[in-house]
Amino acid sequence: MEARIYELQESSLCRKIPTGDFAANALYLEVIRLAHNLVTTFQRTCLPPEWQDLTLGTLRYRLFWLPGELTRPQNRPTLRLADSPVLRTWTEKILSRVHQLQPLEA
């Protein structure tokens, strides 16, 4: 559990509580916890097995520090990633696992 607490402190906005109001702080921490749970669930269900034990910092580095360029064709923002066989393989694996997921029943 200590490793998870350290990871939350180092990898997210949990370093500093924003206000002195208890209710606002409680809501802030619930949002942080929800975001962490969503990322962890995505990691466990959609990412390849070799990525499932990565810390949030490493996961963020691998997913979001990709070479790319933000362009505006026809005045629409578009992120164009570098054409790389490694990126294509990662993307195909992740998307195939996403498409295999079944929605939760209410």
Summarised one tens digit per residue, pLDDT across range 18-75 is 778 888 888 888 888 888 888 888 888 888 888 888 887 788 787 777 777 888 889 8
Q: Is the pLDDT of residue 13 over 60?
A: no
Other CB atoms within 10 A of residue 35 CB: 13
Q: Is the pLDDT of residue 10 over 70?
A: no
Task: Return the higher-pLDDT residue of 44 and 16.
Answer: 44
The pTM (predicted TM-score) of the whole model is 0.62
> Exposed, middle or buried: residue 103 (CB in 10 Å: 0-12, 13-18, 19+)?
exposed
